[in-house]
Structure 1
Amino acid sequence: MDELVDILDENGKLTGKTCLKSEAHRKGYFHPTIHVWFYTSDGKVLFQKRGANKDTFPGLWDVSVAGHIGAGEDVIEAAIREVEEEISLVIKPKDLEKIGCFKSVHEHSKVLVDKEFHHTFLCEMKIPLPKLIKQESEVDALELIDLTTFKFNVEHNQLAGFVPNDSGYYTKIIEEISQRL
């Protein structure tokens, strides 16, 4: 779905301009997104397998929930909306713990340059995996992966099948979740 997004400068600050998400990707404009990483009290992390029809990283394992922030939309409201849309889980603002905002640049092709600032949150998952309902148009599968397994894969650069995020980003996620277990 194409939606209006805010255009950011290279430091993540609002420029006061907006455009459609498709235009931001086509022209390589920075824009804001949310990432919500769900973890369980027994040390597992929820990953989603991106839909095969996605423009970017189809069929790869990715953050639990991710999405674009609409123009003028509050970051927390966007996170809550995306969680409900992608995995049918209703959460409250107090459930989200912001751990940072991370710059990301992926040039997929000459006409698809994804420049984003990921407002990144942690959220403890308190319901069993089978109770989640994935958004069929966006998500092919959901899986809980042991944090120690994911950490080993990151440390040994064994991330085939995962979205190629910077290893420093993945390391930060692992550290933040580890502190809460």
Structure 2
Amino acid sequence: MWILLNKDEPADKLGEVWDIYDGNRRLTGSKHLRGQELGIGEYHLVVNALILNDDGQVLMQKRSFNKISYPGIWTVATGGSALAGENSRQALIRELSEELHLRVTSDRLQFINSINYTDWIEDWFAVRIDASLTNLVYQSSEIEAIRWTPIQEAIKINNQNGVNDNTLLTQAQKLLF
């Protein structure tokens, strides 16, 4: 299911406010302004979706050259940081709407894994959609281009870019097919 929206916002919104979590994923009650450094033992929540079509291909996006992290690379991840007050599913539904103008419901998001990094906790989901590229409108401030890619080709591209989402891709494929 998809809809087209008419909005385009700047990439990497540095004024975002995030909830702060501890290493055990408990909310601390504190807030964080994006762009400022987090303290030791403080984490913010990041969400990503692996989007697959009915043919088993994964949606890849070429990140905007204006992005702070990984500018201009092809990636299978679609998502971003959760805003204060959002849980993972709410944040991902918002991100999919903002970046791809894709409307999905919470029950369509299949949880894959949660990974703790230096100062963020990243939740990964898989979602299967029936949409052609012509029906997807991407946010040009975030994304340069999109394409459907066979899983094995996406894995090769990940390896070339030094991104290791390959296990997550395999798990997404098993969950959805």
Task: Decide: shared fold, TM above 0.5.
Answer: yes
Tell me which residue corresponds to 1:170: 166
- Equivalent residue number for residue 148 of structure 1: 152
Residue number in structure 2 paired with 1:41: 54
Give 1:9's aligned residue.
Answer: 22
Kept in 2, the 8 Å contact 1:35–1:63? The answer is: no
Q: Give distance in 2, aligned partners of 1:69 and 1:93.
A: 15
2:135 matched to 1:135? no
| Residues 22 and 41, structure 2, Cα contact 8 Å, conserved in 1 | no
Matches within 5 A, 1:19-98: 19-24=32-37, 29-98=42-111
Q: Equivalents in 2 of 1:141, 1:28: separation in Å?
A: 36
What TM-score, normalized by structure 1, do the two folds share?
A: 0.80
Instruction: Please name the residue that 2:123 is paired with.
Output: 119
How much does 1:159 deviate?
Answer: 2.1
8 Å CA contact 1:49–1:139 kept in 2: the answer is yes
SS, match of residue 66 in structure 2 = coil
Matched, 1:159 2:155: no
Measured at CA, do residues 13 and 122 of structure 1 come closer, stay the same or move farther in structure 2, by a change above 3 Å?
A: same
Identify the residue that residue 101 of structure 1 maps to in structure 2.
114
Shift of 1:23: 1.1
Q: Is the 2:110–2:175 Cα contact (8 Å) retained in structure 1?
A: no
Matched residue pairs, number? 164
CA shift for structure 1 position 29: 4.5
| Aligned 8 A contact 2:53 2:128 in 1 | yes
- In the alignment, the residues of structure 1 paired with residue 24 and residue 87 of structure 2 have an alpha-carbon distance, to the nearest angstrom, of 19
Q: Distance in 1 between matches of 2:104 and 2:17?
A: 24
In the TM superposition, what whole-angstrom CA distance separates every residue of 1:60-105 from its partner, at most 9, and x where no partner exists? 1223411110111132111111101000111111211111212234
Q: Is the 8 A contact 1:4 1:20 kept in 2?
A: yes
The letter for the 2-side match of 1:138 is E
Q: Quick one: distance in 2 between partners of 1:116 and 1:21?
A: 12
* Structure 2: distance between partners of 1:173 and 1:65: 13
Runs of 4+ in structure 1 deviating by more than 6 angstroms, as ranges, are 25-28
Where does the alignment leave 5 or more consecutive residues of structure 2 unmatched?
A: 1-12
Q: Which moved more, 1:135-144 or 1:18-27?
A: 18-27
In structure 1, runs of 5+ residues without a counterpart are: 106-114
Identical residues among aligned pairs (%): 27
Does the residue aligned with 1:100 lie in a helix, a strand or coil? strand
Aligned partners of 2:32 and 2:38 also within 8 Å: no
| Residue type at the aligned position of 2:18 | V
